Chains A and B, each alone.
Chain A
Amino acid sequence: MTKADLDQLKLERLMLNSRRTFLTGSSAALAAAFFGSTEVAAAAAGSKKFSRPTDQPLATLPPQFPARAKRVIYLHMAGAPSQLDLFDYKPELAKRDGQDTPLSFLEGKNFAFLTGIPKLMGPQYPFKQYGSSGAWFSDRLPHLAEHADKICFIKSMHTDQFNHAPAQMLALTGQSRFGYPSMGSWISYGLGTENQNLPGYVVMLSGASAPRGGKQLWGSGFLPSVYQGVQCRSQGEPVLFLDNPDNVSSAIRRQVLDTLNEINQSSYREFMDQETLTRIAQYEMSFRMQAEASDVFDISQESEKTRVAYGADPQSESFGKNCLIARRLVERGVRFVQLFDMDWDSHGQDEASSLKHNFKNLCHGIDRPIAALLSDLEERGLLEDTLVVWGSEFGRTPMKEEANGQKTPWIGRDHNPSAFTVWMAGAGVKGGYTHGSTDEMGYEVADDPVSLADFHATILYLLGYNHHDLSVHFQGLDQRLTGVHHPRIISQILA
């Protein structure tokens, strides 16, 4: 029996004894096998196999290698804002405004609503260059444009879904099908959260409706439900069931918890079940969470100047208020904050969805808050290790949408999965830079295409993780946020 065999046996007995408390990740060799190339295989072979103890599901775990970002604020504009009227300036398209779309654009393409031969439509707003890098902005986001030198654009994103629900699921869970964990769940599964008295993954919505993908966009899929996004509301009770019933003061609650502690200790002495001890700890944490969560959502503690900068009014719900709360959450150590703003689906079939009408209010609704968020994070020394991401599920077409041939005053564009724009700012990302570009019509990606898998792998890299090793074995496959794709990390945007 050689030494290697002794190790093998010891390992097997250790596995048998400890398997219950560990949700073991993939065996490194098998995970790398799918990848085929030696470079990552070597890395995977050397790195520790990923596993997480189930009794403290959200305890902080160090990333694989030194991370540039410790926290993420993800701003998702549900419905697909028109990148051609915000960031992706196309002078050539402006010249050919109103002409028939060339047939080559239409072959083999699936459209949600476009029929027959639509007309090309140039940008609806004037563009200007901002910052030392000369980044293009339309006049709809003046305050954000002041921060041009912090922002890194990726104008060559592409996806393969042209309906909202599956496209949002693909953008936020890596799969267009049901049942997969969201990005926030993977990250809190991998890294846990710094502040144990607050949820590790907080979701807030603004605007009248909910995103089309529904709860799956922040669901935990096949990971335990502790990793799902906790949907908080900036009005009323921030976390569901947070506030005590009316007649129960926190003093009485404290007495109840102390007594409960004693009773649970006696049942632990009898049954010796580890879960009982964990439950005792969770009840203590719920008491602390009541205090800390109501405090972090109470924006009246902020100065008048800050509230005005964000456009956040304590009495009403708004995207601005959510941005201010997002900064307060990351400041206290929450790992992943995701804000959804509705409803950017400007098809132009009515006033609410017209680029010339409601689009202005939507832009106004996010312009000042995001600008205030960026400067606030920078002042407080948070921007250097917090990653801010602005994105959506796909882009809009350079053609004007006239659903089944009606002539209406409303202006709209149809869905365009083959090219859209996202931007990032903060931790480890090169400011004042534009990556990739679309053709002069803004319809297809011209160079440096970035798939959603590349985008996800880059975010995980910034958080200190090789996307290939953050996996869990389920239904016979090492499941990952990047699925079975072979993504590339976008090295050009790393600072």
Chain B
Amino acid sequence: MSVAAGNGWVTLAPADRASFYGARVAPIFEKYCVACHGAKKAKDGLRMDYHRLLEIGGEEGSALAAGGDPQRNIIQYRLGLSQNNILAMPPLGYRRPTAKEIAVVELWLAAGAPVGAPESDFPSAPAAIVEVQIPAVDQSLVAALRLPQSDQYTILKKRYPSAVSYASDSGNSIVITGASLGEQLNDIVLAELAQLAAVIEWADLNYTAITDQAISLLVAMPALEHIGIAGTNITQQGLAVLVTHSSAKAIVTEAGLASTAIKYMAKSRGVVLYER
């Protein structure tokens, strides 16, 4: 790709991701600078999305000149200014790079801003930080995901508001808990809640009134990961069935209820047994 820049046409090669510039420096520019110094908008004529264009620079001349000297290299100088200085980059109100990211850029500039040099040439560069990206949730997608169970869920939510709720706003998995109902949550109530079996992922039924009858309901929940049955009327036989057939990877049970056979079966199926 070639583009008019400075006083002639220039061919632009995309950054080589294996090089230090491509792997560490370019991503920093992309995150903090290219929005105003890129193809669509080049403030002061400076573009920072290609190495060649950095070399050509904008109105202040090449952005790579005098690399390593914080007073004369334009990038280092502007990065170093305090936030409320009118010339500071990124300007007030925009996110600022961390000290480590600035160190990476300075190391690179001081080494003469090479385009090809591999990462191994820069042993002292601080490790890259994985930035936590909180993904945007498209509510219409979530609504579609929840459609099959939504009327069932609304009815049960009205009847047992404290016992059933979605695990999060971005998915359809459901959590059931007996924390509020306590003894009032018996097999019949669990049977009603089990209408949502397909998406129940977490069932904290500790200190409730469920019995072995409930085991068949629990085993029939394909997505179940965690079950709590401490302080209930479930017998050792019930526990055994649960450990062998349920999809749950963690089961909280009464202290002493699990026999050695049950413990062995659990270990072999990779199920963790907790005791209360």
Contact = CB atoms under 8 A, between A and B. Distances in A.
Contacts of A35: 95
A46, A384, A489 — which one has the most chain B CB atoms within 10 A of its CB? Answer: A46
Nearest to A380: B276
Nearest to A492: B129
Interface string B202-227: 00101100000000000000000010
B168 A66 contact: yes
Contact of A48 (B95, B98, B169, B177): B169
A35 B93 CA distance: 7
B274 interface: yes
A381 B137 contact: no
Interface string A314-339: 00000000000000000111000000
A194 B167 contact: no
A192 to B, nearest CB: 9
A449 interface: yes
A292 B162 CA distance: 16
A447 B180 contact: no
A93 B228 CA distance: 50
Contact of A488 (B98, B182, B276): B98
Interface in A260-296: 292
Interface size class of B (residues with CB under 8 A): 35 or more
Interface in B86-111: 93-96, 98-100
A43 B137 CA distance: 7
Q: Main SS of the interface on chain A?
A: loop
Interface size class of A (residues with CB under 8 A): 35 or more
A319 to B, nearest CB: 23
B132 A494 contact: yes
B110 to A, nearest CB: 19
Given A64-B170, A491-B131, A194 B177 contact: yes
Contacts of B93: 34, 36
A298 to B, nearest CB: 15
A416 B170 CA distance: 42
Given A46-B138, A48-B139, A65 B168 contact: yes
Given A59-B162, A447-B100, A194 B180 contact: yes
A157 to B, nearest CB: 16
B166 to A, nearest CB: 4
Nearest to A37: B95
A7 interface: no
B147 to A, nearest CB: 17
Contact of A380 (B138, B166, B171, B252): B252
B69 interface: no
B95 to A, nearest CB: 4
Contact of A197 (B95, B137, B180): B180
B250 A381 contact: yes
B124 to A, nearest CB: 12
Contacts of A64: 134, 137, 168-170
B137 A45 contact: no
Contact of A47 (B94, B137, B204, B207): B137
Contact of B161 (A56, A332, A486): A56
A461 interface: yes
A291 to B, nearest CB: 10
7 contacts: A43-B135, A59-B162, A62-B168, A333-B177, A380-B274, A380-B276, A447-B99
Given A195-B180, A491-B131, 10 more contacts: A35-B95, A36-B93, A48-B169, A63-B168, A64-B134, A292-B182, A333-B204, A381-B274, A461-B132, A488-B131
Rank and list the top 8 A-B pairs by shortest CB-CB distance, nearest first.
Answer: A381-B274, A333-B179, A46-B136, A195-B179, A489-B132, A196-B180, A194-B179, A62-B166
